[in-house]
Amino acid sequence: MRLFCALGLAILIARPAHADDPQAMPERVVVKHVSAKRRAAAVALAIVPGIVVHGIGAWTVGEKRAAKKLFVGEAVGLGVAGLSGLLVGGSGGNPYTVPAVPIVVAGSGLILQSWIEDIFIAAGGENYRGQPRAVAPWSVELGTSWLHDAYRERALLRGGGHIELFGRVVVGAEALVDAGGDAKIGEADARVRILGAPATGALIEDGSRLTARVGSRWHRDDDDRVTQWTQEIGIDGRLDLDRIDRAFRRTFIEAGAGLGIVHVSYGDVAKEWSSELIAHFAWGAYLCTRGEATVFYEHSRDGLVGGIPAWRASGFVGSVGATVDVRVHGPWAVRGELDIGNAYLTTLAVAYRGGPQ
Amino acid sequence: MKHLELALGVVLLAACTRPAEERATQELPVGSAAITDASVEVGGGLAAVRDLTDHRLELWAQSPVLAINLVVGDTAGGDWTIIVRNTLVDAVLDDGGTIYARDPDQHPTVGIFHVPLAPGSHVLHVAPPDADTIEPFRVAAMADIQTALPEVDDIFEMISAVPNARFVIAMGDITERSQTDEYDLFEKQLVTLTIPFYTTLGNHELWADPSRFFDRFGRASFQFDFKGASFTFADSGDAGLDPLVEDWVVDWIAAAKNRTSIFLTHIPPIDPLGVRYGGFRSAEDGRRLLTRLAEANVDLTLYGHIHTYVKFENAGIPAFISGGGGADPMKWDGINRHFLVVDIDPAAGAIANVDVVRVD
């Protein structure tokens, strides 16, 4: 565990791979000329058999060094997920081994992240421009979500925002209300920046960051007659991948883990305490200077979407999804999100981001 | 290619929010069958019809009490042989007040009755004489046999030796891969059990066509009453209840609100160790179900899936996870194969006691 922490910190503290090579700064993108035919073949190969041997796509378009790193990423992911999975699964889910679950998730994340990165490179993703932007110093957002599950359809109105305080703390809050009045969710959190750029909203060279988070969420569902009040603590990190290789520039990976305690009221009949595990990972790309897109996995089953009905693995896996967050005009941004688990949750929101434009 | 098929399968299933919908509808015709000059319908779908041929009906009971609606055509009147497998040792057949005893020298759970039936409609009741007498009784409970099918007979022998145990209630995962030869072996092993075995299915019964379960044993979601207590079984094989099943369960437990009520399903709605996520795939759905169970005054919930023994409470209802049927056991938990002995006192409207019996 210490080794992983040390490795993670070393990567975060390390300078980007292009730092000593002015020719390779993100704005100076050298477009590789790869024929459309080769590009299509690379994408196909990156998907299959690339799902098994990561790096094939990058290798096909001539990014051999990146290909090797992707393969190593996959191997490390397999090793980490395999060993920790063996511990948890081999013990039959003994409570003493449950702390290893976030490591299983992180290892699985590395496997999937390196696969997606390979497809991205094969598709010519390294030729697109993109630059990270620091979190805005303040923001307000209004939007709507549509929840479709086996039991009901729900339209939710949502509104929230965040503001930076004391230079290192970002405090946020959000409320969701069922348009039919049957469900209400309120949440608030504070994120303390440990590493990474301050919340200025400015364009930055490196979007890597490490934050600690404490949060609280209250969820009342009148139909279900269930009220849940959750207190969470966790840590989240983002790593810009050009720290690993120039070919990975404009992309990043995220991972996070934490714990929550949940106080549940079952109608007027009973109350009890439960716990939740927070573990997630994501792969993302910066979209020019306007925003970013991610695909993600969330291990928790305590949210609105639950876990995917995954055939024989039902109950063991969480939800997947994708987000897009783009500034469309000055401070105005649009955010879209799709979560797929036991339910679908689609979100569309308009945000006003404060700070430099 | 296999990886691609697997990935495609997972994606297609992920696109579905009701993976158990088809399976729930498959349960509806269980207990019904017809031939040219006869038809049968078992009340509540509480038995699988294994054979309906000329003057012969064979059932596998999923309840200690059966109401069999048998319509005999003009050409089908005469002496019928009615075989009820997985029935209580002292069950008799009652045809409108006429009691028929079972053939002697059969296995204790096999009731063979010879009944003269005139053309027309008959309601045959198969039950022990004390089925409606409200008094304390005892059952055994277990789950998760899976790979231990070859040696489960020693658990069955120990259960058979439990004094006054009337039947076994089980929380699923009787097979590892839902293969036909596993079901055959399971039935062969049941020969060592001298009391009936009523079970729902688990996720391991979904490795192959679930109709293998329905055709042999009957419904996976069902309810029966015995001596003033209600037993409600629910199919949670996909780590959740289909809305259809949830509706059945809500109606059943509401009807049992003033009786001693026991609820069984394979996967716990909420894992008592929340962070492990060994429960339903949606905690919200799990908590909704628990609210319904608590509001309906359910007295006891029994689960399997996690291969250990845990005593806890969910929504204030006493709960047990008993995954000790022999499947790959949890390590370092101090318990291996085991089963539960549940003493029920319907007159007091309570569960008198739940004991764990270690096999290994």
State how far the Cα of A11 lies from the Cα of A110, in Å rounded to an integer.
Answer: 15
- The mean pLDDT value for A138-162 works out to 96
List of chain A residues whose C-beta atoms are within 8 Å of the C-beta of residue B284: 221, 224, 226, 302-304, 306
Q: Which candidate, B171, B235, B170, B175, places its Cα nearest to that of B205?
A: B175
| Contact between A267 and B294 using a beta-carbon 8 Å cutoff | yes
List of chain B residues whose C-beta atoms are within 8 Å of the C-beta of residue A270: 294, 315-317
Amino acid making up residue B61: A
In B, minimum Cα distance to A148 occurs at B17
| Contact between A148 and B17 using a beta-carbon 8 Å cutoff | yes
**pLDDT tens-place string over residues B210-238:** 999 999 999 999 999 999 999 999 999 99
**Are A147 and A303 in contact, with CB atoms under 8 Å apart?**
no
Share of chain B above pLDDT 70, in %: 96
| Contact between A311 and B10 using a beta-carbon 8 Å cutoff | yes
| Contact between B275 and A98 using a beta-carbon 8 Å cutoff | yes
Question: What is the pLDDT at residue B12?
Answer: 53
Judged by a CB distance cut-off of 8 A, whether residue A262 touches chain B is yes
Question: What is the pLDDT at residue A309?
Answer: 87
Question: What is the pLDDT at residue B6?
Answer: 52
List of chain B residues whose C-beta atoms are within 8 Å of the C-beta of residue A299: 277
Question: What is the pLDDT at residue B263?
Answer: 98
**pLDDT tens-place string over residues B31-75:** 999 999 999 999 999 999 999 999 999 999 999 999 999 999 999
Question: Which of B7, B206, B281 is the closest to A342 by Cβ?
Answer: B281
| Contact between A226 and B291 using a beta-carbon 8 Å cutoff | yes
SS3 of A287, please? strand
Question: What is the pLDDT at residue B10?
Answer: 52
- The mean pLDDT value for B99-120 works out to 96
Question: Which of B238, B316, B332 is the closest to A269 by Cβ?
Answer: B316
**Residue to test with chain B: of A108, A151, A233, most B Cβ within 10 A:** A151
pLDDT range class, residue A129, cuts 50, 70, 90: confident
pLDDT range class, residue A23, cuts 50, 70, 90: very low
| Contact between A270 and B333 using a beta-carbon 8 Å cutoff | no
| Contact between B14 and A309 using a beta-carbon 8 Å cutoff | yes
SS3 of A210, please? strand
Q: What are phi and psi of A329, to 5 degrees?
A: -160, 110
Q: Which candidate, A287, A247, A45, A35, places its Cα nearest to that of A126?
A: A247
Question: What is the pLDDT at residue B179?
Answer: 97
Distance between A339 CA and the closest CA of chain B, angstroms: 11
Give CA torsion, residues A256, A161, A304, A226, to 10 deg: 120
In the stretch 327-346 of chain A, residues with CB closer than 8 A to chain B read 340-344
| Contact between A269 and B278 using a beta-carbon 8 Å cutoff | no
Q: Report the length, in residues, of chain B.
A: 360
List of chain A residues whose C-beta atoms are within 8 Å of the C-beta of residue B239: 307, 309, 314-315
| Contact between A150 and B242 using a beta-carbon 8 Å cutoff | yes
Question: What is the pLDDT at residue A26?
Answer: 46
List of chain A residues whose C-beta atoms are within 8 Å of the C-beta of residue B308: 92, 94
pLDDT range class, residue B339, cuts 50, 70, 90: very high
List of chain B residues whose C-beta atoms are within 8 Å of the C-beta of residue A228: 287
**pLDDT tens-place string over residues A282-301:** 999 999 999 999 999 999 99
In A, minimum Cα distance to B274 occurs at A275
Q: Lay out the sheet containing B38-42: strands in order across.
A: B32-35, B38-42, B66-72, B120-127, B92-95, B98-100
Say if residue A21's pLDDT is above 90.
no
Q: What is the pTM of this model?
A: 0.93
ipTM of the complex: 0.90
**Are B320 and B282 in contact, with CB atoms under 8 Å apart?**
no
Question: Which of A90, A101, A315 is the closest to B239 by Cβ?
Answer: A315
Instruction: Count interface pairs A-B at CB distance under 8 A.
Output: 180
Find residue A162's DSSP bridge partners: A139, A172
| Contact between B278 and A309 using a beta-carbon 8 Å cutoff | no
**pLDDT tens-place string over residues A80-117:** 999 999 999 999 999 999 999 999 999 999 999 999 99
Q: What angle do CA B58, B63, B67 make, to 5 degrees?
A: 65
Q: Which of B14-23, B129-138, B296-305, B324-333 has the lowest average pLDDT?
A: B14-23
pLDDT range class, residue A20, cuts 50, 70, 90: very low
| Contact between B10 and A310 using a beta-carbon 8 Å cutoff | yes
